[in-house]
Structure 1
Amino acid sequence: MSGTGQPGAQVEVKDKDGTSLGTTTVAEDGTWSLTPTSDLAKGPNQLTAVQTPKDGGETSEATATITVNVVDQLAVSGPTAGSTVTTDKPVVTGTSEPKADITITDKDGKVIGTTTANAKGEWSITLPAQPNGLVEITVTDEHGQKVDHSFTVDVAAPIAELVITGPKEG
Structure 2
Amino acid sequence: SAADDTGDSNSDGVTKNEYNLSFDIERTSNFGAKPHIRLWRGNDIEIGACSADEYDGTCTVVVSELSEGEHYIYATAINEMGTSSARSDTVVITIDTEIEAPSEPDLTIGSDSGKETDDDLTSFHSPTFSGTGEPYARVEIINSVSAVLGTDMVASTGLWKVTADEQSLEDGTHLIFARVIDDAGNQSDLSDSLEVTVDTEAPDRMDQPQPNQNGEVSGRLVPDLLITLYNHGEEVSTVETQESGGWFFSMNELPNGENSLTVTATDAAGNESDQSPENQITMQGQGQGTFQQGQGQGQGQGQGANEAPIIDAMFGNNPNNNTWEETRDTDDAFPEFRGWGEPFMDVTLRSNGNRIGENTVRADGSWIIYPDREMHEGNQFITAELVDPNTGRVGPLSDPFEVDIHPAGSGNVMIPTTPQMYWN
TM-score (structure 2 length as normaliser): 0.25
Q: Which residue of 1 aligns with 2:262?
A: 137
Greater CA deviation, 61-70 or 24-33?
Answer: 61-70
* Distance of 1:144 and 1:44 partners within structure 2: 15
Unpaired segments of 5 or more residues in structure 1?
80-86, 126-132, 158-170
Contact 1:76-1:93 within 8 A present in 2 as well: no
Instruction: Please state if 1:2 is matched with 2:130.
Output: yes
Contact 2:138-2:153 within 8 A present in 1 as well: yes
Instruction: Please state if 1:45 is matched with 2:175.
Output: yes
Aligned CA distance change for structure 1 residues 149 and 41 (closer, same or farther; 3 Å): closer
- Quote how far apart the aligned CAs of 1:101 are: 4.8
Deviations 1:1-41 (A, max 9, x none): 22222222111222121111111101111111111111265
Aligned CA distance change for structure 1 residues 30 and 75 (closer, same or farther; 3 Å): same
Please, which of 11, 15, 18 is the counterpart of residue 139 of structure 2? 11
- SS of residue in 2 equivalent to 1:34: strand
Instruction: Please state if 1:22 is matched with 2:150.
Output: yes
Instruction: Please state if 1:151 is matched with 2:278.
Output: yes
* Distance of 1:68 and 1:22 partners within structure 2: 16
Kindly report which structure 2 residues correspond to 1:10-89, keeping only aligned pairs within 5 A, or say none: 10-37=138-165, 38-39=168-169, 42-47=172-177, 49-54=178-183, 56-70=184-198, 73-78=202-207
- SS of residue in 2 equivalent to 1:64: coil
Contact 1:102-1:140 within 8 A present in 2 as well: yes
Contact 1:76-1:92 within 8 A present in 2 as well: no
Aligned CA distance change for structure 1 residues 115 and 64 (closer, same or farther; 3 Å): closer
* Distance of 1:57 and 1:114 partners within structure 2: 51
Contact 1:101-1:142 within 8 A present in 2 as well: yes
* Distance of 2:211 and 2:185 partners within structure 1: 73
Aligned CA distance change for structure 1 residues 14 and 101 (closer, same or farther; 3 Å): closer
Contact 1:102-1:115 within 8 A present in 2 as well: yes
Deviations 1:88-123 (A, max 9, x none): 99x9787xxx52256464629489x986587xxxx7
Unpaired segments of 5 or more residues in structure 2?
1-128, 213-217, 248-257, 280-292, 298-424
Identity of aligned residues (%): 17
Which residue identity does 2:159 align to in structure 1?
T
Count residues with an aligned counterpart. Answer: 139
Q: Which residue of 1 aligns with 2:94?
A: none
Which residue identity does 1:11 align to in structure 2?
V
Q: Which residue of 2 aligns with 1:165?
A: none
Contact 2:206-2:265 within 8 A present in 1 as well: no
Contact 1:134-1:151 within 8 A present in 2 as well: no
Q: Which residue of 2 aligns with 1:84?
A: none
Which residue identity does 1:10 align to in structure 2?
R
Aligned CA distance change for structure 1 residues 101 and 18 (closer, same or farther; 3 Å): closer
Contact 2:137-2:181 within 8 A present in 1 as well: yes
- SS of residue in 1 equivalent to 2:163: coil
* Distance of 1:78 and 1:138 partners within structure 2: 8
Aligned CA distance change for structure 1 residues 155 and 93 (closer, same or farther; 3 Å): farther
Structure 1 runs of 4+ with >6 Å offset: 91-94
Contact 2:169-2:198 within 8 A present in 1 as well: no
Contact 2:230-2:263 within 8 A present in 1 as well: yes
Structure with higher RCO (Cα < 8 A, 6+ apart) = 1
- SS of residue in 2 equivalent to 1:29: coil
* Distance of 2:240 and 2:153 partners within structure 1: 49
Q: Which residue of 2 aligns with 1:129?
A: none
Aligned CA distance change for structure 1 residues 109 and 43 (closer, same or farther; 3 Å): same
Larger radius of gyration: 2
